[in-house]
Amino acid sequence: MNLFLAVAAQAAEAASAPAAQESGNLPFLIVGLWVLLLSIFVGFEVIQKVPPTLHTPLMSGSNAISGITIVGSLYCVGNDYPLSAGILGLIAILCAMINVVGGFVVTDRMLGMFSAKGGKK
């Protein structure tokens, strides 16, 4: 119980600290939550009516997009981070890059099969 109280207190402190949010000084958390809310909405709208034929390419294409963490991993190799974080960052880069390139190329291959056959018709 103590633990949760402490967590809650910390959270409250963090939330109230930048309370003096005059114009343009919103804490990132709030901006981020706005962005999150709107992108989830866009995500749902954009994907709602995809035909079943494209479920696999959609999944593997969006899977490649989830490799966007590559951006995050690049920061971790920067001088802001100590050496050991840099090593974790390098592993992250490797994983994310396999995800990104592998994902997009596989999706392209799949979609190539759709269009190849479209031409034959």
Partner 1 sequence: MLAMISMTNVVELAYMASSLLFILGILKLGKVKTSKQGNLWAAYGMALAIGATMLLLITRGDWDPRPGEWAYQSHALAIGAMVLGSAIGWWLAVKVPMTSMPEFVAFFNGLGGAASMFVGLAEVPRAVERGQTLSTEGADFAIAVILAVIIGAVTLTGSLVAYAKLAGKLNKSRIGPLGSQGFNILLGAVCIGAGAWGGFFAADPMGLWVSNGLLTLGALLLGFGLTLPIGGADMPVAIALLNSYSGIAGMTTGFILKNNLLIVAGSLVGASGIILTQIMCKAMNRSLTNVLVGGMGESAGGGGGGQKDEGYTKVKSTSAEELAAVLDAATSVIFVPGYGLAVAQAQHKVRELAGLLEKKGCQVRYAIHPVAGRMPGHMNILLAEADVPYEQLYELDRINDDFKNTDVVVVLGANDVCNPAATQDPKSPIAGMPVLTVWDARTVVVVKRSLASGYAGIRNELFQMDNSLMFLADAKKALEDTITELKAL
Give the separation between CA 36 and CA 78, rounded to whole angstroms.
26
Q: Please list every residue from 21 through 40 that binds partner 1, using CB under 8 A.
A: 28-29, 31-32, 35-36, 39-40
Smallest separation (angstroms) from partner 1 to the CB of 10: 4
**Helix, strand, coil abundance in the chain, percent, nearest 5:** 85, 0, 15
Question: Applying CB under 8 A, what is the total number of residues that bind partner 1?
Answer: 94
- Closer to partner 1 by Cβ: residue 22 or 39: 39
Tokens of 17: 């600290």
In angstroms, the Cα distances linking 27 to 11, 32, 58 are: 13, 9, 34
Q: 61-100 mask for partner 1 (x: CB under 8 A)?
A: xxxxxxxxxxxxxxxxxxxxxxxxxx-xxxxxxxxxxxxx
- Closer to partner 1 by Cβ: residue 22 or 79: 79
